[in-house]
Amino acid sequence: MEALLARLEALLADNSIFTLQTLSYYGEGLVTTVQLVFLSLVIGLVMAVPLAIGRGSRHRWISLPIFLYCYVFRGTPLLVQLYLIYYGVVFVEGIQDTWLWLILEKPFVPALIAFTLNTAAYTTEIFRGAIKATPRGEIEAARAYGMSRGLMLRRIVLPSAFRRALPAYGNEVIFMLHASAIASVVTIMDLTGAARFVYARYYAPFDAFLFVAAIYLCLTFAILYFFRWLERRLLAHLKPAGG
Amino acid sequence: MKIQKILTAGALSAALLAGTAGADVRDIRIGVDVPYEPMEYRTPEGELTGFDIELGNALCAEIGIDCEWVVQGWDGIIPGLMARKYDAIMSSMTINDERREQVLFSDPYFTPPSAWFAPADVEVGTPSEESLEGLTIGVQRGTLQDNYVTDMYGDVADVNRYATADDMVLDMDSGRLDIVFLDYPVGKSTLLESEAGNYKVVGKMITEPKEYFGDGFGIAFRQRDEALAETFNEALAELKANGTYDEIHTKYFGE
């Protein structure tokens, strides 16, 4: 590791912009971006499953609030949601004195909340579509076996809905990665934040942003291949025979 | 009204060396772009005032000439000098190499100060690595204040960077920031004046080192008016020595 750093330093000796210092900003930015996106996607996914089931409920008092939630969060820009959550909470009287302030003071948690609520709304809609598209025959067959609603959901509806939702969900993950670039407006030093810092410091927009664009591209490729692998495994039964 | 010129021997010889036609320095006109508070602006009665104006008048009094202020928009302020609409520019003009190619600058007479501002109820000692350790500092992204804080205290404190001063003030109001480092005039108008009593200045004004805070403002002359520039430099040195400069500085920027 030491030797690697020394070699890197020698390699960068002539470079006025990409020093070890700025590279460490990019490195920390990468960690922050991945944490933020990964956490919001996982929490969003966990929230989306029950919400998607509830969204298709016959009881309006369940489905209507979920519809409204999805409508609001898909109908407003993520940037506006982030501003509202980060700057809005401080106008709640006396919030600074409660335990909530401990987690809301730093920008990470407000951004995580905004991203999670946003991705959960989109994911709910993706899953709802997939659940709705369950072939009637499968449901009838499950009923014929005498399965309860819960068992049918668990064994028949959800597994096949997850498979159908996979390609669309992969898209949502990539969108989320790119949407996370706005985190720097609330002072988070994510990848884009690091790029903006380097840009402002050295007046070098091309270097700073091309470099960060390359990192985003690599991340996107990784996500893309992960989902391709998942699809190959989970959707193997849909492939043409002998293909 | 013409006042009898009083020239120091140095200025006289400099004028002779530079080969100007007259051995004396005549009354001059100075170009200025208003308003740019607190450097140059008008009082409600329409009188020109501000740090530049008062210092300029003091300089002219020291040299012993009459100065007339000519108001000129910023775009045309250097062309106006070349076209002899006035003989000098004293209008918060930052000394830099591009301008040096066109005009002759006096010695810098002022560097815009930056200052630390904190909520009135927060106890912070004079900013140093020890007193700022673990605090959250707010700066505007990409400003010279950002560079200064990042290099000096980036390792011991959290630095939050904002796109606008307004966002920063909002976060200081809410308690997310312990201290901010701002252009003093900006901090004065957004923190000290509009939210009187809630904020205070911590420590001294900061204008050093040069690599962060620049060369400051200079008076611009036409390239060939070397004698005039030299006369102003000497008068400036004299005002700094006899306390007049400090008096004016304190009036506009506090201690």
In this prediction, residue B4 carries a pLDDT of 47
Please state, for a pLDDT cut of 90, what percent of chain B lies above it.
Answer: 43
Top residue of B168, B174, B211 to mutate, by most chain A CBs within 10 Å, is: B174
Residues in A touching B174 (Cβ below 8 Å): 87, 90, 96
d(CA B212, CA B207): 8
Give the residue with greater pLDDT, B143 vs B15. Answer: B143
DSSP line for B94-151: BP-HHHHTTEEE-S--B---EEEEEETT----SSSTTTTTT-EEEEETTSHHHHHHHH
Cross-chain Cβ contact A90/B160 below 8 Å? no
Check residue B193 and report its DSSP letter: I
| Domain spans, chain B | 9-111+215-253, 114-213
How far is the alpha carbon of B80 from chain A, nearest alpha carbon, in Å?
Answer: 31
DSSP secondary structure, B33-52, as one string? ---BTTTBEE-TTS-EESHH
Chain B nearest-CA residue for A94: B174
Q: Which amino acid is at A80?
A: V
C-alpha to C-alpha distances, A175 to A119, A160, A169, A171, A194, nearest whole angstrom: 9, 24, 10, 6, 20
CA–CA separation, B147 and A108 (whole Å): 23
CA-based nearest distance B164→chain A, Å? 10
d(CA B53, CA B57): 6
SS3 label, residue A62: helix
Q: Which ipTM was obtained for this model?
A: 0.74
CATH code of residue A188: 1.10.3720.10
Joined tokens for residue B246 = 């400090």
The beta-carbon neighbor of A200 closest among B141, B167, B171 is B141
In-domain check, residue A166: yes
Q: What is the pLDDT of residues B32-53, one digit of tens each?
A: 998 887 889 899 999 999 999 9
Whether pTM exceeds 0.80: no
Would you say residue A133 lies in a domain? yes
CB contact under 8 A, A197 and B163: no
Fold for domain B9-111+215-253? D-Maltodextrin-Binding Protein; domain 2 (3.40.190)
3-state secondary structure of B186: helix
The pairing of strands B67-71 and B28-32 is parallel
The one-digit pLDDT tens for each residue of chain A (243 residues) are 778 778 877 777 777 778 888 899 999 999 999 999 999 999 999 999 999 999 988 899 999 999 999 999 999 999 999 999 998 888 888 888 888 888 888 899 999 999 999 999 999 999 999 999 999 999 999 999 999 999 999 999 999 999 999 999 999 999 999 999 999 889 899 999 999 988 888 878 888 999 999 999 999 999 999 999 999 988 888 777 764
Q: Å from B210 to nearest chain A CA?
A: 16
CA-closest candidate to residue A174, choices A138, A130, A228, A128 = A228
Q: What is the spatial distance between Cα B18 and Cα B228, in angstroms, rounded to a whole number?
A: 10
Q: Tell me the CA distances in angstroms from B199 to B66, B112, B123, B166, B169, one per residue in order.
A: 42, 20, 12, 15, 11
Residue B215 is classified by DSSP as S
Q: How many domains does chain A have?
A: 1
Cβ distance of B147 and A201 shorter than 8 Å: yes
Cβ-Cβ contacts under 8 Å for A153 (sequence gap 6 or more):
A53
Q: Which of B141, B148, B159, B177 is the best mutation test for A, with the most CBs of A within 10 A? A: B141
CA distance B147 to chain A (A): 7
Nearest residue in chain A measured CA to CA from B148? A201
Is A64 domain-assigned? yes
Cα angle B167, A34, A187; round to 5? 10
Per DSSP, B2 falls in state P
pLDDT given at position B19: 41
Cβ A187–B175 below 8 Å, yes or no? no
Please check the confidence at residue B90 and state whether its pLDDT lies above 90: yes
Task: Among B150, B161, B175, select the one facing A187 at the smallest CB separation.
Answer: B161
Q: Do domains B9-111+215-253 and B114-213 have the same CATH topology?
A: yes
Residue A58, domain extent: 25-235
Q: Which of A105, A107, A196 sits opposite B141 (nearest CB)?
A: A196
Per-residue model confidence as pLDDT tens digits over B125-142: 888 888 888 889 999 888
User: Across the interface, do A187 and B146 touch by the CB < 8 Å criterion?
Assistant: no
Instruction: Say yes or no for a CB contact (<8 Å) between A105 and B171.
Output: no
Looking at chain A, which residue has its C-alpha nearest residue B164?
A: A185
Gyration radius from chain A CA atoms: 22
Q: DSSP of A166-184, one letter per residue? A: HHHHHHHHHHHHHHGGGGG
CB pairs under 8 A between A and B: 36
Q: Does any domain span residue A12?
A: no
- How far off is chain A from B175, nearest CA to CA, in Å? 8
A187–B171 C-beta distance less than 8 A: yes
Does domain B114-213 sit in CATH 3.40.190.10? yes
Report the residue from B142, B163, B176 with minimal CB separation from A105: B176
Q: Per the structure block, which two tokens stand in for B164? A: 């606008």
> Do A114 and A81 form a contact (C-beta atoms < 8 A)?
yes
E-assigned strand segments in B130-250: 136-140, 158-162, 179-183, 199-206, 220-222
- Tell whether A14 is covered by a domain: no
B12 has a pLDDT exceeding 70:
no
